[in-house]
Amino acid sequence: MITLGIDIGSTTSKSVLLKDGKQILESYLVKAGTGTNGAEICFNEILLKANLKIEDLECIVATGYGRNHFKQADFQASELMCHALGTHFLLPRTRTVIDIGGQDIKVITLNDKGMLESFQMNDKCAAGTGRFLDVMSQVLQIKIDNFEEEYFKADNPSVISNTCTVFAESEVISQLAQGATISNVAAGVCNSVASRVSSLVKRQGINEEVSISGGVAKNGGVVDSLEKHLNCNVNRSDFAQLAGALGAAILAYRKKN
Ligand code: ADP
Each residue of 107-144: pLDDT tens digit? 999 998 888 999 999 877 888 899 999 999 999 999 99
Q: What's residue 88's pLDDT?
A: 97
Per-residue confidence at 63, pLDDT binned at 50, 70, 90? very high
- Distance (Å) from CA 138 to ligand 1 centroid: 14
Neighbours of 145 (CB within 10 A): 10
Contact assessment for residue 257 and residue 9, using Cβ atoms and an 8 Å cutoff = no
* Global confidence as pTM: 0.96
- For ligand 1, atom 1, the nearest C-alpha belongs to 9
- For ligand 1, atom 16, the nearest C-alpha belongs to 130
Q: What's residue 147's pLDDT?
A: 97
**Nearest atom of ligand 1 to the alpha carbon of 137:** 16
> β-strand 116-121 against 105-110: which pairing, if any?
antiparallel
Q: Does ligand 1 come within 6 angstroms of the Cβ of 215?
A: yes
**Nearest atom of ligand 1 to the alpha carbon of 34:** 4
Q: Does ligand 1 come within 6 angstroms of the Cβ of 225?
A: no
Residue 145 pLDDT greater than 90, yes or no: yes
- For ligand 1, atom 15, the nearest C-alpha belongs to 130
Contact assessment for residue 72 and residue 47, using Cβ atoms and an 8 Å cutoff = no
* DSSP 8-state class, residue 157: P
**Nearest atom of ligand 1 to the alpha carbon of 29:** 7
Distance CA 236, CA 33 (A): 23
pLDDT > 90: percent of the chain: 93
Chain-centroid distance, C-alpha 22: 22
Q: Does ligand 1 come within 6 angstroms of the Cβ of 38?
A: no
Q: What's residue 5's pLDDT?
A: 98
Q: Does ligand 1 come within 6 angstroms of the Cβ of 134?
A: yes
Neighbours of 71 (CB within 10 A): 8
Q: What's residue 112's pLDDT?
A: 85
Per-residue confidence at 213, pLDDT binned at 50, 70, 90? very high
Instruction: Taking the CA atoms of 48, 53, 54 and 59 in sequence, report the sign of the dihedral they define.
Output: negative
Q: What is the mean pLDDT of the chain?
A: 96
Q: Does ligand 1 come within 6 angstroms of the Cβ of 241?
A: yes
pLDDT, tens digit, 9 for 90 and up, residues 216-241? 999 999 999 999 999 999 999 999 99
pLDDT > 70: percent of the chain: 100
At position 108, the amino acid (one-letter code) is I
* DSSP 8-state class, residue 138: H
Q: What's residue 127's pLDDT?
A: 85
- Distance (Å) from CA 195 to ligand 1 centroid: 18
Least confident of 31-35, 165-169, 197-201, 237-241: 165-169
Q: Please, which residues bridge with residue 234 across strands?
A: 210
- Distance (Å) from CA 101 to ligand 1 centroid: 6
Q: What's residue 163's pLDDT?
A: 83
Q: Could you check whether the bond before residue 209 is cis, i.e. omega within 30 degrees of 0? A: yes
What value does the mean pLDDT take over residues 95-108?
96
The best mutation among 7, 11, 239 to test binding of ligand 1, ranked by most ligand atoms within 8 Å of the C-beta, falls on 11
Per-residue confidence at 61, pLDDT binned at 50, 70, 90? very high
Q: What's residue 144's pLDDT?
A: 97
Q: Does ligand 1 come within 6 angstroms of the Cβ of 160?
A: no
Q: Does ligand 1 come within 6 angstroms of the Cβ of 102?
A: yes
- Distance (Å) from CA 56 to ligand 1 centroid: 30
